[in-house]
Structure 1
Amino acid sequence: MVTVTRHRSPSVGKEVVERLADELADSVRNLDTSSAIFGIALNEALLQVQMHQALNPRGNRHPTWVATVSAMQVGSAAFAAATAPGLVEKLTATIDMSHPDIATIAPRDLLQCILYPPIHLFYLFVRKDHEGFNRALAEALELHKAYWSREDRSDDIAGYLALGPLAMACLAYDAGFPIEVESEYLPIRLLDRSWLGEFPT
């Protein structure tokens, strides 16, 4: 088992937790007023998940799961609203054009450390390469840690959860891959689905 430690421990006040929950609730109530609200609500929902995971890295507390389910529901609604013909072609183009040596859409360190690793993990998942997937997962977490360890980013709440690698690890776990990497960046209770069925989704 490979272990990747987190870059630091967060401090988030109760008032921040409550404010984020109120903002998300307002956005969800207004989803039918504009398509732009979907993006705002999704960003707020993801920020809420990141905040809860920062405070609860094992992902075993009720508020963490409520935030996670809310984000899944908002994400599903946004995806359903945005889905259009050509999705497979778009995914293929994304994989082809996302390598840090080719892509120019974002700063190189963001591409290399955050955006590209989940795409590479998806490629290994599709190839059913269990060993390669675990090596790449450990590398993705180390790259995530390096990116968020920089002094100007180290306090950012987004750095406490490796969302892309977590999504790919959950996909692989559900497909029967042995996950041989552990980290507070990958909350174990989200990965092993221990709360599955406890919430309507």
Structure 2
Amino acid sequence: MTSPTKISRTPYDPGENPAELLKGVDARTLREIERVERSPHMFGLTFGKTLSTAYIHCLHDPTANASETWEAWVAAMQTGSALFASATAPEGATVECMIAHEKRTVPGLGGPTHFTDPGTWLQAFWLAIICRDQPRMTQLANVPMELLRGSEAEFEEYIYSWVEALQTYWLEGEGLGDKLVAAFDGTNPENLRFVGRELMLKILYPPLNVFYRFITQDDEEFDKALVQAVELHHDYWTTSDEERSEDLDGAVALAPLALACLAYDAGRPITVESEYLPENLLDRSWLGEFPT
């Protein structure tokens, strides 16, 4: 049996009253969620807030052992999916979305906005995988590429092929290999326009390699790629730049975690142990705890 590879996150100081802190964070996040029924154009900010709240819970609860942590992750997943449900609904229509234990009536945005970009789509899709919500994965996989391109946000071209590859994989469509090759080709650091070389090599590229090893069903190479992705995540957020260690985005390796969840559900061995991959999210311990 392969011994586990342990990759520790930089120690986090929870402060004097972490329970009170988390209670306040959750209350503010709920207020953000409640306003999307009145102001759907704030969806992007609300989604960012819910994801940050999920990360904050994992800083205090590294294995995601508390029910409040699971609730925070589900709320983030629900908000990300609702964002795209609203964007794909006609203007003037409404969609019913479950967010934070309540069914909410959200106005349709009727098309792309500045926050319906491929980066937001990837975050929403990763969350749906982590929460094992297959209907929402299917909903997101059917989001048209025109909507993502219509955001007019500046992204490297590779990301559109990456999104298409994931959509094709989940919907069992044709051309997965070609789309993945196009995504790989677009990550060449020499051709980058909008992101730095370090961000590409340590954060954006590794999930493509992990996914490739997953679909080729090479357990050993998948495990190596996953370990490397988590190590690079740690290096990027804690070693390379001291200021980054304060950034919540480094608390969890979102894309590697989602891909590890896919592999776990497929019965693949996962040897890496890390706070970046919270144990109870990876092994779906909370699944079915409450309707999502």
Q: TM-score range by the shorter chain?
A: 0.7 to 0.9
Q: Quick one: distance in 1 between partners of 2:206 and 2:271?
A: 17
| Pair 181,160 (structure 1): closer, same or farther in 2 beyond 3 Å | same
2:246 maps to: 155
Shift of 1:23: 3.2
State the distance in 1 between where 2:270 and 2:49 align. 29
Q: What does residue range 87-126 of structure 1 map to in structure 2 within 5 Å?
A: 90-91=163-164, 92=179, 94-126=183-215
Q: Name the structure 1 match of 2:22.
A: 17
Task: State the structure with more CA Rg.
Answer: 2
Aligned residue pair count: 201
**1:1-201 equivalence runs, <5 A:** 1-11=4-14, 13-14=18-19, 16-80=21-85, 81=87, 83-85=143-145, 90-91=163-164, 92=179, 94-149=183-238, 150-201=241-292
Q: Which structure has the higher relative contact order (CA within 8 Å, separation 6+)?
A: 1
Q: Which residue of 1 aligns with 2:173?
A: none
Distance 2:13 2:191 in 1: 35
Structure 1: 5+ residue stretches without partners = none
Which consecutive unaligned segments of at least 5 residues does structure 2 have? 88-115, 117-142, 149-159, 165-178
- Percent same amino acid among aligned pairs? 43
TM superposition score normalised by structure 2 = 0.62
1:130/1:23 CA distance change after superposition, 3 Å: same
Taking only aligned residues, the RMSD between alpha carbons, in angstroms, comes to: 2.3
Q: TM-score, normalised by structure 1?
A: 0.87
Contact 1:23 1:44 in 2 (8 A): no
Paired with 1:21 and 1:32, the residues of 2 have a C-alpha distance of: 18
Q: Are 1:20 and 1:44, in contact at CA under 8 Å, matched by a contact in 2?
A: no
